[in-house]
Structure 1
Amino acid sequence: MANGDRKPALWINADIYAPDGIIKRGRILVDGEGRIGDVGGPDTVYGDDIPVFDAEGLKIVPGFIDVHVHGGNGFNAMEGTYEDLDGISRFHARHGTTSFLATTATASNERITKALEAAADAMRRGVSGAELLGIHLEGPFLNVKRSGAQSKDDIRPPDLGEIERFMRSAGQRIKLVTLAPEAEGGREAVRYFAERGVTVSAGHSDATYEQAAEAIAWGVSHTTHHFNGMSPLHHREPGLAGAGLTRPELTTELIADGIHVHPAAVKLLFDVKSPMNVCMITDAVACCGLPDGDYGRVVMTGGRIYLKDGSSLAGSSLTMLQALKNAMSFTGLPMERILPSLTRVPARQIRMDCRKGALEAGKDADFLILDQELNLISTFVAGREAYRSQESGTIIRKLK
C-alpha cells in the first residue's frame, strides 16, 4: 500500500495478536474508513474485490499508545508549534506508536497555554504520523521536593481559575493530568478534573500512603512514571510508591528503559500489579533519537538524559517498541502478556478504549507489522500506512 493511502485491504497468514489470544495464520480486514472490519482465522472468507496482502511469517499487533511523551528527534511539545507536534507524531510512528498524548512540562502560564493551544490546533488539523489523541498536562501543580527535572521556579499550588483557563486553551482536550494531590488545593483540583472526565495521576508527589489513599477517594486513579518522582517505598511508610503497588484503584505508569527503574523493579511491578494495571510510557524528550551530546538544559550520554548539573534524570530516549522488548527481557513474560500494557491499558486510562487498544471489529485500524525478531516492518494508523521499513517490499507480498 502506498504511504498515505486509506483503502480496504485484507491481510492474511499473519500471527494476529487479538484480545482473546494469538490467531495463527489469521486474517484481518481493514475497511475504507480506517476501521477494522473483521478479524478471523485462516478459513475466514471475504469478498473477491479486496486487495490481499500476504504477511506469512509476520506478526500483526495492536498499535502502541503513549500517554506520556514530550518529544523526539529534536521536536518538543512545549515549543507550541504544529511543526513540533507533527514531528513528534512522525518520529514515534517509526517506533511503533500509533497514538499519543502531547505532554507538557512545568513552565509559566503563558508557555503552557501556548503549548495547549498548539496541541488543540494540531488535533483539529491532524498530524501525519501517530494520531494525536489529546493532552497530558504534567505540572505545574507538583511538589518541589519531588520535582525531578521539572522547573522548580514554576511549580505552584493548584488554582481553579488557572485550571479552568488551561481547560479552555486546550479546547477541553486534556485527557490526563499529573499533579501532587497533597498540595494545598489538591483535593479541589483532583475533584475538578475527575468530574470532567480527565484521568488524574499522582506524580512528582511526596504524598504519604495515607494521603495517597485520601486522593484515591477524591478521584486519583493513576500514577505518573511509577517509582520516579514520588515518595519511595519504606517498610514503615509505604509512600506513593507503596500505594501504587498495593491499591487496586491505581494504574501505574512505567518507563521500562532499565535506567529510570531497575529491571528487577520492573519485574516486581508486573508481578504485583499484573500487565492490566501497568501503563507503559516513554517519557521521551526532544533529544530522543538524536546522538549523544549537550542539548542545552540537558546532556545525553549513552542514551541517559540528565540535567546538566547531574541532579536528576530528565526524561528518556526510550521508544515504545524498545519498551516492549525491554519488558519482555526484564520479566520473562511473552509478548502477548506484555502487550496490554502498551495498548489496552493506556486506551482504558484515557477513556479511548471504545476506539483504540485492540484488534477487533469496529475499532480503529491501528496496527503494527513485526517480523519474528520484533523488528518493525510497517505502522498503520486508522488504516493509513504511517511508516514503512526499507525491508517491507521484500517481506510483504501483494497477492491481488
Structure 2
Amino acid sequence: MPSRPEPVEEPSGRHLVRGDLVSSGRRLDDAVVLVEEGRIGWVGPATSWPGDAGDLPAPAPGRLLLPGLVDVHCHGGAGHGFPEADAEGMRAAADHHLRHGTTTLIGSLVSAPADQLERRVRALLPLVASGRLAGIHLEGPFLSTARCGAQDPRSIVPGDPGLLRRLVDAGEGAIRSVTLAPETARLTELLGILAAAGVTPSFGHTDASARMTRAAIAAVGGRRLGATHLFNGMPPLHSRAPGPVAACLAAAAQGSMVVELIGDGVHLADETVATVFALVGPGQIALTTDAMAAAGMPDGRYPLGPMTVEVVGGVARLPGEPGDAGAIAGGTARLLDVVRRAVRNAGVPLPDAVTAATATPARLLGLDSEVGDVVPGRRADLLITDADLEPRAVLLTGRRVDTERATPAGTRTPTEVH
C-alpha cells in the first residue's frame, strides 16, 4: 500500500515560486510567490519583486500556480473509503487526493447505525490530528429515505438531537459539516446544536418543497450554509414544483448559501454547471468530487459504507435490477479533474473554476483565514500545473509533496451524463 506522500524539504525555509498565478479571482501572468516558513510572504508580478533580481527563478511560461484545492465532500480514493477502511487505507485515500493537488480535504461518512457512525467518527480523528484531513463531514443520518441515493435507507433516521450531540462530542471539534434534509424532524434543534459547535449545516438528500426549503434556510439565520451536491439526491426542478433546487439557487444568488456541484460529467451535465456559474457566480459555488474508494482506480467493485458499488467506465453505481442502471454512488474523479472539466467542457473561466475549488469551499467551512487563496499570511499550500491543468507539483505548508505516483489525471475523466 502506498505510504504517505512525504514532503520534500526545500533548501531553506524561504524560497520563491514563479509562474502564472490564478488566485483571488484573477490571473496574474509571470507572478512570484515568496514562501517563508510555511506561509505566503509576498505575492506579485516578477517585475515588482522587491528583492534581488538574481534570486528570481527563471521565467516559466505555461506554468500555472493555483491555491491548494479544497474538497468539502470526499468519501475516499485509491481503493479505500473513509466510511469503512482501516487506518492505513484511510491514510492512502487522503494521500491520493493530496498528490493530485487537494491540500485541504474533508473526510465524508455516510449514514450508518449510531454506534457504528460514532466509531467511524473516532477512527477519523487521528487523520485530522495529523493534518491529512481538515475535518469530518457527516452525510446523514438525518436524510430523506425517498431521496437516499446510494445511502442505506435502513440507517436513515428522523432528526435526533441526542444522537447529533453524541456524534459532535465524539468528533472532539473535528466535525466541520453535516448534511441533513430540511424536512427531518426537530430541524430547529439540530441547527442550534450545529451552530453552538461551529459546524456548517448543508441541506441535501431531500424531498422537501421549495417553501419548506426556504423556511429551513431562513432558520439557519444567516450563518454558514451549504447545499449538498445540488440537483443530486433531490427532486428535479419543475415549473409547477420547483422544489429544493429552486430554493437553493435563489439563496445562493442572494449570498446566503453555497451550493456544491459535482462537475464530473456524470452527476451533472456540463451545461448545468455552466448555468449555475452564470446564475450565482463562483463565490457561491463549491466544486466537489463526492469521491469514493474507486477514485484513481480501475473499474470493478468497491465499498461505500455497507453498500457495494460497481464502477463501469469510471461511473460508480449501485447494482440495479435488469434494465435499471442503478443509482449513482459517488464519484471517481479528483478535484483537479473537476476543475479541468469545468474549464474545458463547461466553458467556465479558469479564475472562476479555481475560486469555486479553493476560496469558496474554504469560506464555507470557516477555514478561509488559513487556506483557499494565495495571499500574504495564508498557509503556503500551492498546486503547480501545466497549461492543461495536469499536476506538476504540490506544496503543503511550503514543502513539496512527492507526486511521482500520481495517476495521470486525464486517464479517468468520465464522460457519461445522467
Q: Structures share a fold, TM > 0.5?
A: yes
- Residues of 1 paired with 2:205 and 2:361: CA distance? 20
Contact 2:72–2:361 (CA under 8 A) maintained in structure 1? yes
Q: Give the drift of 1:288.
A: 1.4
Correspondence 1:267 to 2:274: yes
| 2:225 aligned residue (221, 224, 228) | 221
The partner residue of 1:258 within 257, 265, 270 is 265
Give, in whole Å, the separation in 1 of the partners of 2:16 and 2:267.
38
**Contact 2:23 2:355 (C-alpha < 8 Å) held by counterparts:** no
Q: Following the alignment from structure 1 to structure 2, what is the Cα–Cα distance between the partners of residues 85 and 99?
A: 15
Give the aligned residue type for 1:175: R
RMSD: 2.1
Q: How many residues align?
A: 385
Q: 1:20 to 1:272 in 2, by over 3 A?
A: closer
Tell me what 1:202 maps to. Answer: 203
Q: Distance in 2 between matches of 1:199 and 1:231?
A: 23
- 1:84 is aligned to 89
After TM superposition, give the deviation of residue 214 of structure 1 in Å: 0.8
Residues 154-197 of structure 1: per-residue CA shift (max 9 Å, x gap):
10012111111101111121111100121112222122212322
Which stretch of structure 1 is more off in the superposition, 16-25 or 5-14? 5-14
2:314 aligns with one of 303, 314, 318: 303
2:163 partner letter: E
Question: Which 5+ residue runs of structure 2 have no aligned equivalent?
Answer: 1-5, 407-418
Deviations 1:25-77 (A, max 9, x none): 21111112x111111221344666x9864461211111110000000011211
Consecutive unaligned residues in structure 1, runs of 5 or more? 392-400
Q: Distance in 2 between matches of 1:312 and 1:238?
A: 22
Distance in 1 of aligned mates of 2:273 and 2:23? 25
CA contact (8 A) 1:181 1:190 kept: no
Alpha-carbon distance between aligned partners in 1 of 2:135 and 2:287, rounded to the nearest angstrom: 17
Match of 1:383 among 392, 398, 403: 398
Identify the match of residue 338 of structure 2 among 315, 320, 323. Answer: 323
Q: Secondary structure at the match of 2:249?
A: helix
- Offset of residue 16 of structure 1: 1.4
The aligned counterpart of 1:43 is 47
Q: Which of residues 21, 25, 28 is equivalent to 1:16?
A: 21
Whole-Å separation in 2 of the counterparts to 1:80 and 1:191: 32
TM-score (norm: length of structure 2): 0.87
Match of 1:39, as an amino acid? V
Which residue pairs with 1:398 in the alignment? none
Residue 176 of structure 2 corresponds to 175
* TM-fit CA distance, 1:379: 0.8
CA distance in 1, matches of 2:13, 2:214: 49
What is the percentage of aligned positions where both structures have the same residue? 33
Aligned equivalent of 1:278: 285
Structure 1 residues 120, 25: CA separation in 2 closer, same or farther (over 3 Å shift)? Answer: same
For the pair 1:366 / 2:397, whether they are aligned, the reply is no
**Structure-2 change in CA distance of 1:28 and 1:218 (3 Å):** same
